[in-house]
Chain A
């Protein structure tokens, strides 16, 4: 038996109904995917010969704890010529401390490569 599917908010998937909308019971966070589900999808992807897709899902599982604005601002920080290496490393440290080690590694790598390739701010 697989576990019943729940949203990141904890609401079971079978409570996502038009009736519930009508009753004003739902909010947009009830449509957010749960990190455990992403980790299970990562295992599926890895078993089908795509570990990179698995890694993406695991990184995404970490990112479920970020709100929309923070996702957008972190994306902005990774675009070329936006951040200094120190700024990227600072973000990496903070992400690692908050339990997003895979995201942190992206920022660490970016800091190193951007500096070498002239892509830093």
Chain B
């Protein structure tokens, strides 16, 4: 049978509804090899190949030495271990891939082999790993055992007090690297200074970078205002590389320049960048990135920021592009380098899709799961919004807890957040004043401390920021001046922390692969904290203390917390009057209450007081000419049993059951316990009007009528997720009051 397609222009409602969903704001590209819009493999990617003559690479991935471009030439000379190349290239792709995911095949052995593999070889291997295998490979292959995280801290105004407050907060949350940048290039020295002070107010040992033009960034580092760099960009084709105003040799020199000043650095690349600049030369994103990663290793960088980066949404627009981004990170790890794993550009308007992109990396654990978690609100991120932002901090903390993984962050108590923000803002005000850079007011400090973003701080004198930045440059202010100013102004903790970072430059330990400082200034790197994953029960496991940090989100509630919340609403109403007796009046309806009502439970899940709910039920009964009375049952927590027992006491044979949490039903004395006449099961959304209707309907049943049953109110919210914890705690409170004693009549005095 053939289905005629509908000829109307207007899609049916189901399609119109689908079109409205946010994911459809994203752009999706048909694969196009000519434009390089292809993720894992292009037919124009070369076949892996290497030829070695007299210890020299004379042919690389099908290109002869004479035709090497600048990238080929650098990799061929410096990036291939000629002693293992033959062995590495002879291994077939499946064996290679299997080595990556088999726990018993050691990381060190993969690293040894990968040193002899060409870019095309590694691209081919990673292209066949499934997502689950990529998670396994990342778990095993990352350099540092302890996972970590990096934050973006910027704002639209380059406001120093706000930068400092946010840097301090990010440090307190556990970020071990903070990256700032500028909307106005000339402000860079001021931003670096403010973040340096702020980070020190939040925690010892936070690495700081200011991402600006290459030469200026190096200068800031030389003066000790920053401690690492990562925006040293590599590209996978010669043309795009040179368009970026560098060559592999200039980047190699720059890499050593940072090390020569004791500063950590990593390079930056990422799939899709070449396609974005119309220079992909018909190659797949993964293959071009494989060239970048091979080059990163060849020039001697200790690590790579990749996984799309600025072009993440380009990769995300093509089939398997998101998978390719994770494959890039794993490739960095295979090359024995630090992975700073992207997730730093908002790649979708869809919350589900951007979570889907990031989650596998957080689950596997990376040296840095984000190369910039946007710690500020989206509008303040001068890199552009990150894939996760200030809006998502709690989501991330709870995802860590859900999966029991360490994403590097912790919950910080609100009072601590306030304290570190104040400390940071006041220290920054003091240093800017002491060094004659700018005069900030107490009111500006207050605004920065309280602000959730730059829209909350009122107008900033942006010229004052610019002039402060200029003064820092012109007077050559360096880290020693900052330490001295902090000390003079009484900020000894901050001056000591910055001094410790400056001193750490001398040992060079944090130049090693994947180095961070922990909060005791110990270096964690591939040297001191190597990833030793070799199967279940090995590798990184959070300490008990760290696990407690991950688990203890501030939203978690215990039964004791709930009991205290309930106690706030306790009153002298609903007093016990003695044993309840059976009624005889045909208008008598018993409202049966659960054991903790009038003792521990005073407020229902909807926020209404139990006495108000009872008042509505009584009023409904009265509307129908019936008389209600209150009886507490102490033998069960089951609402069906309570309702049935109430009905059996009632002269009318009709009872209402009400649990303290607000669940209510109408019961009749001849029904089975689990049967009932009407039920409100969605306590959090039952309104006073609905309780009154239930009372009235109970009255109608008492009179032998057949009322239209009350319906449960509808909600599309995650009502169960929101209330289940409370429900369990409230029912626990009810159960603690179950003692098998008989029903008690309760006072109706003061109700309504």
Contact = CB atoms under 8 A, between A and B. Distances in A.
B250 A79 contact: yes
A34 B259 CA distance: 11
B507 interface: yes
B247 A110 contact: yes
A55 B300 CA distance: 7
A72 B336 CA distance: 29
Nearest to A65: B260
B247 A48 contact: no
A74 B253 contact: yes
Interface in B242-277: 242, 245-247, 249-250, 252-262
Interface in A13-39: 13, 16-18, 21-22, 26-28, 31-34, 37-38
Contact of A63 (B77, B256, B488): B256
Nearest to B77: A109
Interface residues of A, number: 57
B557 interface: no
A71 B508 contact: no
Contacts of B260: 33, 38, 60-64, 66, 71
A74 B496 CA distance: 35
A22 B487 CA distance: 8
Interface in A45-103: 45, 48-57, 59-64, 66, 68, 71-72, 74-76, 78-80, 103
Interface in B704-720: none
Given A13-B503, A114-B247, A60 B259 contact: yes
A103 B253 contact: yes
Given A13-B506, A76-B215, A45 B73 contact: no
B223 interface: yes
A6 B511 CA distance: 17
5 contacts: A18-B495, A59-B253, A63-B256, A106-B252, A107-B249
Contacts of B108: 49
A44 interface: yes
Interface in B104-120: 108, 111-112, 115
Given A55-B300, A76-B215, A106-B252, A119 B492 contact: no
Contacts of A121: none
B253 A17 contact: no
A52 B262 contact: no
Nearest to B243: A80
B242 A49 contact: no
Given A16-B499, A18-B496, A49-B111, 10 more contacts: A16-B502, A31-B503, A31-B506, A41-B508, A45-B513, A52-B79, A52-B300, A60-B256, A64-B260, A114-B70
A23 to B, nearest CB: 10
B478 interface: yes
B439 to A, nearest CB: 24
Contacts of A75: 214-215, 218, 250, 253-254, 257
Given A17-B499, A31-B479, A41-B508, A80 B301 contact: no
A41 B511 contact: yes
A47 B256 CA distance: 19
Given A32-B262, A52-B297, A18 B506 contact: no
Contacts of B249: 78, 106-107, 109-110, 113-114
B492 A32 contact: no
B69 interface: yes
A37 B219 contact: no
A24 to B, nearest CB: 8
Interface of A: 5-7, 13, 16-18, 21-22, 26-28, 31-34, 37-38, 40-41, 44-45, 48-57, 59-64, 66, 68, 71-72, 74-76, 78-80, 103, 106-107, 109-110, 113-114, 117, 119
Given A37-B507, A60-B256, A113-B249, A71 B218 contact: yes
A33 to B, nearest CB: 4
B253 to A, nearest CB: 5
Nearest to B495: A18
B238 interface: yes
Interface string B510-551: 011100000000000011000000000000000000000000
A34 to B, nearest CB: 7
Nearest to B114: A49
A108 to B, nearest CB: 10
Contact of B112 (A49, A56, A110): A49
A54 B336 CA distance: 13
Contacts of A64: 260
B253 A78 contact: yes
B669 interface: no
A15 B370 CA distance: 36
Pick from B224, B249, B507, B527 the residue with the most CB of A within 10 Å.
B249
Interface in B470-488: 478-480, 483-484, 487-488
A76 B238 CA distance: 18
Contact of B336 (A41, A49, A62, A66): A49
A18 B503 contact: no
Contacts of A13: 503, 506-507
A33 B256 contact: no
B547 to A, nearest CB: 29
Sorted from nearest, which 5 A-B pairs have the closest CB atoms?
A: A56-B300, A60-B259, A33-B262, A63-B260, A78-B250
A89 to B, nearest CB: 13
Contacts of A52: 78-79, 297-300
A68 B222 contact: yes
Contacts of B69: 117
Contacts of B509: 41
B70 A56 contact: no
Contact of A57 (B111, B259, B499, B527): B259
Contacts of A34: 506
Nearest to A113: B73
Nearest to A64: B260
Contact of A56 (B74, B301, B503, B527): B301
Contact of A28 (B68, B115, B223, B488): B223
Nearest to A73: B215
Contacts of B298: 52
B387 interface: no
A102 to B, nearest CB: 8
B480 A27 contact: yes
B143 to A, nearest CB: 9
Nearest to A76: B215
A16 B507 CA distance: 12
Nearest to A55: B300
Interface in B46-100: 68-70, 73-74, 77-79, 81
B599 interface: no
B507 A44 contact: no
B302 interface: yes
